[in-house]
Structure formats: structure tokens, C-alpha cells
Structure 1
Amino acid sequence: MKFNNIRLRNKFLILYIFAVFLPIMLTNIIFYMITTESVKDQKTHDIDLILKQIKTDFLESVDDAIGISTSLYTDNLMNEFFERSYDTPLEYIESYDRTLRGFNKYGPSFSSIQKIEFYTNNPTVLYSGGVRYLGEEEWEGTDKEKNDSLPIIKRTTKANGESNLSVIRKLNFFKTYNEYAKVVKVDIDNLVLDSIFQNVTFEGDIFLINNKGIVEYAKNKELEWENQDISFRGIDIPENAQMFQETIHHNSGLKDWQIVGVIAEQEILEEVYQSRRFLYYVAFFNLIIPTAIIIIISNTFYSRLMKIVTHIKKVKNQQFQVIKGPEDQDEIGTLIKEYNRMIIKIKELINDVYKVNIQKKNLQLQKKQAQLSALQSQIDPHFLFNALETIRMRSIIKKEEETARIIHNMAKMLRNSITWGKDWVVVEDEVNIIIAFLEIQKYRFGSKLTYRIKIDPQIKQNIIPNMSILPFVENASIHGIEPRKSEGEICLDINKIDSTIEVIVKDNGPGFNSDKLTSLLESLTTQEQIGEHVGIKNVYYRLKLYYGNNFDFSIESQTGAGTRIKLVFPVQNEGLKGINR
């Protein structure tokens, strides 16, 4: 079905669907999908950054505790203090004052450290002032029989029920002090852990899980993870929640620990839902306002066009009615005004000159018929062609090949002159006629005439006005070669320069003086009667008719130095409409 067969109202509907409705809907759907993915990606990236920050802050606190334990681990006086056997309590107290009285100096220096305690099984020490008895409970999580110097990290519970995440390390750096077992325990401040894990920017739960899958810390206090071992696998995670993990790779006892963030999908998509509502509003306004405008404009178009169609249908029944209504200033209003003017004019023509025009047309028809009869009575041009062909064949039979070739060229030129109504030719055809002309001239002048033709292969099939180059070659032959006593040369160069065709015709004839050249150029611009230089003026006026000012024409000549004519006009393709070939 052709589009032009569809009713105008349906065309407006198609225009609305494909130019307004579908583009707006597709644009909003694509924008929503891209925005949703972008928000999800941004939210995921933000959560990853939060977990990385929690991990970094947590490791800083752990590193502080490990650093203190390492300092005490390599402290010779500290190891000697716990390894020594004391005879009396007073002796121990004096040694304690010298060695341990200032050990809590690390607390003020590191805000993440809550308390430092020592454990030993040396029976001669007093278990007070930060020194505790090393029992089986304190050995839990370590191999007391193994000489392991690395710290371990575990949750420890005090007698009052308070639990801490602690760094525990054996004091066995010095091999000479191994009579008694010695352990230092550095407690990380719970307030520091709370400030790290109770991150207000993370809207879900955060868990610190050790390498056995046990929860060591949780943001949610209702899990009671502080006083009992809770496996992370046993925690009920909502189905629509998303989980984010950050694994801790640390050389200490934190290897393969994890920080896990659990957040409801609703929290992640909250910004998406907000953007969705915004998109709904935008889509609504983008759809309703253009729809209303298109309906209003299309109705004004359709109603007025239907009024025009209705009146035009009446015209075929000879009802010449003027369309009444306000005179609008748009194209349809102009169409209505022109229609009304046409109707009025038709009425005037019918009433005033209809019969006169019929009589005039009859006379013109009779005149054309008489002219056609006169033309039909003329000699058929094919008779001349056949006669020339007969002479050419007789010349070939008598082996007068040069004469036959010249007759053949004359026939081509005669055919071209008879078909003068052909306005355009391809460059190659024009050059062929020029070659035929030059061959005839060469037959006439003999060795006195030489010629050279150079044509760009790219433009052989481009079209130019018929007989636009030949007159200049003819002038070069008549005015340039004929007056010479010595050998003369005609050069023709046809090239494509950008989007133009450049034609240069040169001869080495006597040329013009400056006064004569100036007079010739002035006669072209003043458009006086043709008179002299018929060929040049004829071509110039035809080129101006075809191209307007969109062509260049120049003549360069000096007395005794020959003449150079240059033509430049636009490139046109062979298939242009309206070319008579």
C-alpha cells in the first residue's frame, strides 16, 4: 500500500506514534534501565568502599594491639621479670615497681587499646595489678606445648561478663627464659570497634567473621554474639537481601577472616525507586504536552484541508464557490487565498475570453499543421548522408583512404549540425567532433597543422553544452593557423579540477593586440548584437544561459605569442533530468 493513499488523519496518527509516542516511551525505558543499573553500580561501589574503610580502620586497631604485643615480646626486662623466682612477696613488689608499674603507658598512646594483661604460671608472683594466673582457659586457642611466637586474635570474656576482641601472644622470644609460661593479652577497646562497625552510612548489618565461620562482632546486638559462639551460617538472612564480602589477608591471626555486609535490596533500590517516580513525571509531561499540541495543530490542518478538498470536488461539477472564512497567514491559508483567486479568475475567463481562446487555439493548430506539412515536404537529410556514404565507399574501393576518412568526418559534422536541437553531450562526443574537424583541417593544411588533445579519463562521460568547445578550436584554426606561414599547433586540454571541468584551447598563431582583446571582452559583457566573433559570442551567451554566473571564461593573447582560451564550468553527471541527448 502506497503511503500517499493513506488518509491524512491516519498519516497524522502514524506521525504521532512513530515520531512522538514510541520515541518518548523508548527513550524513557532505556533511560530508566541505564539509570537503574547506574544507581545499582554506584550503590554497590559505595558499599564496597564502606567495607574497605571498615576493614582499614579495624586493621589499624589490630595493628596497634599487635605492635604493643611485639614490643613486649622482645622486651628483655619483661621476660626476665616473669621468669624470675621470688623468695618473698616484697621482693616481687619491688621488681614489679621497677618493671610493670609503667606498662599501661601504651594505653594513652593508642586510643584503640582498652587494657593490657599478663598471664603466667610462675607461682612466686602475685596475681594482681594486671598479672593473672595462666590456666587452661587462657591457653584456649593456642598450643601451649608448641613454641609458637605469632599472636592470635580471639574474643575473651572477663569475670564480669564483658567480652573483648583480644590479641594474645606468648612471651617466648628469649630461649633462656622458658621455665615458666608467659602470655600477654591486649584488649581492643569495644568503643573503638563500635565506632568502626556501627557505620551510619551503611544501612544494613555488618559482621566480623573469623576463619572458622564464627561471628566475632556484629552490628546487630540482638544476636547475643558477645557471650556465645554464633555461626554465621546459622543466621537467618532475608531472601531479598544482598551480601557483600571483604576478606582480610593479614600475616597475624586474622588470616581468612571476613567482613560481611548484609543489606536489604529495598535499601539499595530506594534511589532507583525515587528516580523511577521522577521518570514517570518526566514521561507524563513529555507525552501529554506534545500530544495536545499535535492534536490541536493536526485538527487545524485537517479541517481546513478537507474544506479545500470539498470545494475542489465541487469544481468538477462547475460549482465555482469561494471558500469563506478568516484569511490565515500560513501555507494552508495561502493555498485557500490562491484557490479563491483562481476560482474568480476562472469565472472571468469563462465569461470574457473562453470563446476567443478557443478560436485562437484553432488558428494556432492550423498553423502548426501547415508548418508540419511544409517540413514533411523538405528533402530528407538521410539522402545527404547516404550520398556522402556512397562517395566514401567509392573512395575506399579506389583506395583513396584519406579522401574516404575526410568524407566520413564531414558526415559526422553534418549530422551533428543537423541535430542542433541536442542541448547537451558528453565530453567524449564533443571531443570526437573536434577530432573530426581537425582531421579535415589537417587534410586542408597538411603538415602546416599539428594538434594535441589531452582529456582526463574521469570526465569523459560528464555532460557539457553541445558545441561549447568546437567554436574555439575552429577560431584557433582559422585565426591562429591559417595566417601562419610556418608550422602551427593547436592544443586542447580538458581536466577535472575539484568539482569543475577546466577546458584550455591554445594556439601559436599571431594573437591579438591588447586593444582588440579589450574590445572583444567588452562586447561580451554589453550583450550587443552578435556581429563579429559569432562563434565566441554564441558559446558565451549559451553558457551564460545554462550556468548563469556559475562559470568562468577568459582569453589571454599577445601579438605574435598566440592565444589561450580558458573555460571552467561545473561538473554535471550524464543522468541529470531534462537533458536532451
Structure 2
Amino acid sequence: MKKITLSLKKITGSIKKIYIRLQLLLNNKNIKSKLIYVYIFCVLLPTLVTNITIIGNSLKLSQKEQRENISNIADSIAHDITRALDSAVYVTVDLYASDSIERFLDRQYATASEYYLQYRSFFDNYVFYASSKHLISDITFFSDNPTMINGGRYFRVDSIKGKDWYQKYKQADTDLYMHIYYDDTRYIDTRKRMLSIIRRLNYTGLRDTEKLVKLDLNYNQLLENVTSSAFGTTVYVCHGDKIIFTNAPEDKGDKSFFLSSAIIPEKEVQIHKVFTAYGVNWDIYVTDYKSNYRQVFSNNLGIIVILFLADALIPAFMLALFSNSITNRILLLVNYLKKVKGESFEFITGNKGSDEISELLENYNLMTYRMKELIENELKSKLEQQELILARKQAELQALHSQINPHFLYNVLESIRMRSVLKGEMETSGMIESLARLMRKSAVWGTDYIALKQELAFTKDYLELQRYRYGNGFQYKIKIEESLNLYKIPSLSLTTFVENSCVHGLNRAGHYGIIFVSAYQKADYFYLEIEDTGIGMEKEQVSSLEDKLNKADISDLQMSNSLGMLNASIRLKKFCGERTRIAIESEPQEGTCITIKIPLADMEQQ
């Protein structure tokens, strides 16, 4: 017993030594080499043995089972159709051999009343037992007896000579004929697919009277029989180039035309069976059959268990080696990365080996060093830059505003206005008051973004000053949609464009002219228009000015001698968005129209 124990310990010790040596060896191998070993020992060898044995046997059994089951399905469908046709033919045999039917069809009726009495008597006694059978939907008799009246189940032959099915029956020149067609001679809601058996009634053969019976089969019942025999497959029963019965989802039922056999996926057909019934050739196609492997694996369970054990033990030994070589160091790296997530940057020490994972650990240490350096230098620098950018933006806005902020003039004008009041110069006082309101607005920094209604008040004050200055030769008109009064724009922006039209557009002898100011909404845009009847501009000047206003920024103000419209354009874009656009139309000696277009979505309301 002791010898056995010692032998086991030696074997165990030897295995441990081999395991440790293999582990150290794998630590110095690259991942590609390790994956090759995994593939050879854990995948290739077990898979070859297992798959060749199991799959080979399974395929043979499943293919045999599939062929038998599909063949049985096709045979069952053929049997159902043949049996249904047999039942219908047997009914025609009874009708063919019936003396009462023959006498009724051959009898010459003197009056319509006589025919009707015979018809009711015959109908009540015979009851047409055959039509009550679920496979037959209707039975109709036809005779060339001229004394019969068309109606019910009896018609004269001359009433059907134009029918397609009758002409095909005559061409076949046979006592028993089967016709498959779509009956579109009915009303729209009663049109349907038809399978009819036509039989000549000449049992005695003593008369030349043409007599025949037409049995219409119950199409939906036949389709139900075919569908119930499909057993989870897709079945197509065809006659010629038409699909007569199918359980495919493309089929819309008996109220629609027959589908073409061209839709059958030839590559997916698993069996094609041909049979003939009563002179009609039928083709059966079966697709979508799925084999059942449960029985196959149940029959081969013993072999499967043995092969499974072989597949499990070999990979277990090899993967144990790979686990210690790869996963332990990967887990070490994961733990240190979790520390990084908690903003604790520590270096990994004691790294052993020369494979890709060891290189990954070294790169982690380099990354940690760079991240520390980035946090201490780069991020702080960027924060400072952001603060500078914000400060610069604020300074730009203040600079824009300061260019139209002549505060001291307001106090001077107020003093002059008071002197005019004391002297009784009320018109002069009123003009100075209008100008003072303009100066007061420019002196207030906190309300640079005001409602259109307020801006129009400043514009009107300015225009009144101009009319006072130039006399009756100067006129102006303002037209504003009431719904736009509360939309906000930069203060004095509209007034600046109006001032430009007065100074540059009407700057001619006599200063005669008209200024038109309008604001309106069109589609999803807000429009401001300032139009004058002044001296106008050339096309080159218009194009240059328009381009300059739409592309203006702070740096342009520093290099420009004229600040008015440029300043207003920049402030409009900063307050109302970069999508703000200014369009100019002008004709020399005719006038100029400036249109400011702002998306309503970018504007605010007071």
C-alpha cells in the first residue's frame, strides 16, 4: 500500500514539474503560438474524431428519414386528391344510371306550369343526396330539351355553349371530363376557383338528346385536406402552369386567381411527384421540410457520450495551462485599471515574461505616467485657455456695445432741451427729446437685447429728427405685423440700417426721398426690410458690401473706417444666430433695399 502511495506521489510530483515547466514556456510564447496549440489540442483533434463519427451517421439517418417522410407527404396528398375525385365520380355514376333523371330531362313539357310541377316533384323526391356531401358544393344538369326552363339545377344546353368549360369538354370528346378554372362570370364577391367534373348522361343510348351533369367540388375542403397532409411543409399541387392547391403564404384563397407555378423556388424543392387522375396530370412539389434529429441522437446516445468525454478531458488539461499563463496577468491588469478609474495611478511591478501580455503591462505603466503628466499640465492649461476664451467673448460684446455708447451726449442734450423749453421753442424741444431717448438707450448696458416694438420706437424718433432736419421733402413709412412686436433684436440694430439709408442713400441736393421700414414673417423666417428711394449703388459695390456684412467679425471692426452697419451685422449674428443673413438690392439713381433674414427658431420673445 505504501509503495502504491509513493508511486502516486512521484507521479503527481512529476506532473506538477511538467506543468510548471510548460507554464514558464508558454509565458515566453506569443499569443499566436498559444492559439495554434489551443486549436490543435483542444479543437482540431477532438472535432475531427467527434464530427466524422456523429455527423456522418446523423446525415445518413436524417437524409433517409427526410426522403421517406417527404415521399409519404406527397403520397398522402395524391391519395387525398384521388379519393376526393373518386367520390365525385361515384356520384356521377349514380346520376348516370338514374332512370328518373333521364326521364325528367328527356320529357317534352307542354307548358311551363307542367315543367314546374315535374321539377318540384322530382327535386323534392330526389333531394340531390350527393350535393349534401361535403366534397361537392353544387350539381347542375343540362339538356338540349327545348321545353325545359332555365333555372335552379336544370338548364338547357344552348345557355352554356359560350362557356369555356363546355367548349373544352366538347373538344375532349369524352364521357367523363374534369375542368379546373377560375369562374369570373359571377358577381365580384362570388367569383372563385372551380374544380368541376362533367359527365355525359347517355345511359340508355336510345335518344339523341344531349344531356350532361356538372359537379362542382368543394375547393376549400380539398385545400383543407391538402394542408392537413402537409405536416409543417410547404406544398404546391399544380396542373399545367397553375398552382391549384398550396399552403404557401403567397396564396390569397379561393377568391383570387390561381398562382403561376413560376413562383415555386426550384432550388428548394425537396420532392417532385407526378400522378394522373381521370385524365388530369398533377404535379406535387414539397419544400421546407425540416428533419428531426432528436431520434437520431437518441439512437446514438452511447457513442455521443463517449466522444463528448474525449472532447472534454483533453481541452481541460490544455486550457488549465493557458489559464495560468494568460488570465492571471490579465486579471492583474484589470485590477490596476480599476484603480485608474478611481483616479489612483499606480505602476505594476514584478512583471515576468516576454510575450504580448508582458508588453501590455509595460505599456500600461507608460500610459499611467503620461496620464499623470497630462492631468498636471495639459488639462490645467486647457482650463486656462477656456477661461481666456470666455473672457474674450465677453470683451468682444462689451467692445461692440461701447462703440454705440456716447453716454455723455445724453446729459448735454437734456440741458439743451430744458433751455429750449424755457425759451418756448417747443418743436426744437421735441426733436431734442427724441434724440435724447436715443442717447438714453445707448447709455444703458443692461438692455441691449430688446423687443422689436421698442426698437421701432427708437427708429421712429430718429426718422422724426431727420424729417425735422430736411423738411417736408423727406418722408417715411413703417409697416409692422402685430404678431412680431415681441420678438427681440439687438438695440439700435434696425436704427443703424435706417440711419445708413438716410445718410448715404438720401445724401443729395434737396434730400428728397422716402424711407420704407417693414417687418413680416414668411414661412419659418423673420424679415426686416429697410428701403430708400435714394442714389442707389452699382452692382460691384452691392456685392462687396453684402459679402462684407455677412462675413463680418470683430477683427473687421478694427480695420474698418465705417462701423455702423458692420457693428449691427455682428451684433445680429451674436444675438440671433449665425444663420442670420443680409441681402442687398440696389439700382443707381433708383434706391436701395436691405433685407435682414433671421430663422424664427433662433429668436426669442419678450
Q: TM-score range by the shorter chain?
A: 0.3 to 0.5
Highest CA radius of gyration, 1 or 2?
A: 1
Q: Which structure carries more helix by proportion? A: 2
Structure with more relative contact order (C-alpha pairs < 8 Å, separation 6 or more): 2
Question: So what's the TM-score if we normalise by structure 2?
Answer: 0.39
